[in-house]
A = this chain, B = another copy of it.
Amino acid sequence: MTTDLSSRLNREEANQELFELLRIPSVSSDSTRKADMHAAADFLRAKLAAIGFTARVDATQGHPVVYAEHLQAPGQPTVLIYGHYDVQPEAPLEEWVTPPFEPTVRDGRIYARGSTDDKGQAYAHVKGVELLLQQGPLPVNVKFLLEGEEEVGSPNLEPYLRDHAQELACDVIVISDGSRFAADVPTVTYGLRGLSYVEIHVQGANRDLHSGSYGGAAPNPINALCEIIAKLKDEQGRVTIPGFYDGVEDLTPEEREMWAKLPHDDAEFAASIGVPALPGEAGYSTLERIWARPTLDVNGIWGGFQGEGSKTVIAAKAGAKVSMRLVPGQNPARITRLIQEYVPQIAPQGVHAEVREHHGGQPVKFDLSSPYIKAADRALKRVFGREAAFARTGGSIPIVAAFSAILKAPVLLVDMGLNEDAPHSPNESFAISDYHNGILTSAYLLEELAQ
């Protein structure tokens, strides 16, 4: 418990290994990249085997799962580390300064799709365990579960957890797949929003029409889609779907007070993303809106002519991808059903509108008083020299709730990234110092979790 692992870390080797993983374009939503998914899974399996784990790649109905274990600390707790090797699509490609799958270092940051979400954070755990193994036996039993479908809602992970519940049995689950509060604020995250992701499809005429010959009489599915989307929120920024807010857990006064003390400045936050204002639901602070209030955002929209120049057409159809972030008290399946019922009711005359389900994820909140959270706090203090902040996050890790429910173990969310890493955006990056601190955090955390 007194080791200084920092001086033992071979940073250049750690970087090169991560670069190799980042070069594999493992985009889980792209059906043409199945071979890349297998390559990424096998890379991780081989590395874990090389450092002494029993490691294998398990097929699923979708992309494979990497499972590895190192169980040589009898009487000590068993820690299950979860991560994912799949990444978001790289589109829009033209906005990347350097190619998304050619990791490039600029100003102390590794630029590549997946650098922070989640290859960089997942691999930091692999390197952290390796670092401990280089100095002696592991202080705890360790299991790795690295999946390839997180970015598409992990459709096959829950069945996998159920099928392998005995093998995966553990005392605590560790996940690093998000952003800490600020660069100088190590963070333990105790809540995640859930998700309901759907597509709205609107059909007008049976073919594209000339807007001169039909304009004024034919229904326009793009105008109709815009009307529908506009009606999904009111002037106060509240979602109008009937029943949407039923059961939503109110923020406690303690939480509001704790968060109000965090170093956050609205003007700075707005400036960091280049906007003049931060619109949103009335009555809540920015952090409260992001961490503890549900949202509805259109993630993509399409219809009609998008090319160069002009085309005077009334399109036959239009569509949009819509995601709703959910908070404790909301159920993704119920919310999806509510929007499926509501959209056809508010669709204008003359068009057919329907909502197709994509995927969902349960919102979660963990007990702040658990000993595991205290161990994480100590580990972070050893790396950063200060105590952790306790925050929630606006993102979703859909399977966190499943882990808790199926494996009946608490989850520790120890985020290594930062919002400015721009996960899901062009030019995603991960600070090299955060990667190295992540490796140390992983190693110290395993030490702190030993009894």
Could you tell me which A residues sit within 8 Å of B by CB distance?
29-31, 88-89, 91-92, 95, 152-153, 179, 193, 195, 197, 204-220, 222-223, 225-227, 229-231, 233, 269, 273-281, 286, 289-290, 293, 295-315, 318, 320-321, 323, 325, 348-352, 358-359, 393-396, 419, 422-427
Contact of A31 among B279, B308, B318 (CB under 8 A): B308
Residues of B within 8 A of A321 (CB): 304-305, 310-311
4 more A-B contacts (CB under 8 A) besides A215-B290, A216-B290, A299-B311?
A29-B311, A89-B305, A219-B277, A301-B304
Picked from B31, B216, B302, B320, the residue with its CB within 8 Å of the CB of A295 is B216
The listed residue (B218, B225, B273, B312) touching A214 by CB distance below 8 A is: B273
Nearest-CB residue, chain B, relative to A359 = B310
Q: Which of B280, B298, B348, B424 contacts A226 (CB 8 A)?
A: B298
Residues of B within 8 Å of A393, CB to CB, are 212-213
User: What is the bound-complex CA distance between A211 and B196, given in angstroms?
Assistant: 12
Q: Shortest CB–CB separation between residue A94 and chain B, in angstroms?
A: 12
Measured CB to CB, the closest approach of chain B to A118, in angstroms, equals 12
Report the bound CA distance from A304 to B321 in whole Å: 9
Expressed in whole angstroms, the Cα–Cα distance for A350 and B231 within the complex equals 19
Copies of this protein, total: 2
Q: Are B299 and A305 in contact (CB under 8 A)?
A: yes
Alpha-carbon distance between A214 and B275 when the two chains are bound, in angstroms: 12
Known interface pairs A30-B308, A305-B299. Does A229 touch B223 (Cβ–Cβ under 8 Å)? yes
Give the shortest distance, in Å, between A97 (CB) and chain B (any CB).
11
User: Which 4 A-B pairs give the minimum distances between C-beta atoms?
Assistant: A212-B395, A29-B309, A206-B274, A300-B304
A350-B279 contact, Cβ under 8 Å, with A89-B305, A311-B88, A311-B321: yes
Residues in chain B near residue A299, CB distance under 8 A:
211, 222, 304-305, 310-315
**A226 adjacent to B216 (CB under 8 Å):** no
| Residue contact A209 to B152, C-beta cutoff 8 Å | no
**B-side contacts of A226, CB under 8 Å:** 225-227, 229-230, 298, 301
Whether A311 and B229, one on each chain, are in contact in the complex, defined by CB atoms closer than 8 angstroms, is no
**How distant is the Cα of A389 from the Cα of B305 in the complex, in angstroms?**
34
Taking CB atoms, residues of chain B closer than 8 Å to A425 are 207-210, 313
A sample of 21 inter-chain contacts (CB < 8 A) reads: A30-B307, A91-B305, A153-B310, A179-B213, A204-B275, A210-B424, A210-B425, A211-B323, A213-B394, A213-B395, A214-B290, A216-B289, A216-B325, A223-B296, A223-B297, A223-B298, A226-B229, A227-B229, A279-B349, A299-B315, A300-B303
A335 to chain B, nearest CB (A): 14
Are A308 and B29 neighbours in the complex by a CB distance under 8 Å? yes
Contact B204 A309, beta carbon cutoff 8 Å: no
Residues of B with C-beta under 8 A to A223: 229-230, 233, 296-298
Q: Which residues of B contact A358 (CB under 8 A)?
A: 309-310
Residue of B nearest to A419 (CB): B213
Query: Contact: A309 with B30, CB < 8 Å?
Result: yes
B424 to A301, Cβ gap below 8 A? no
CA–CA, A277 and B231, complex, Å: 21
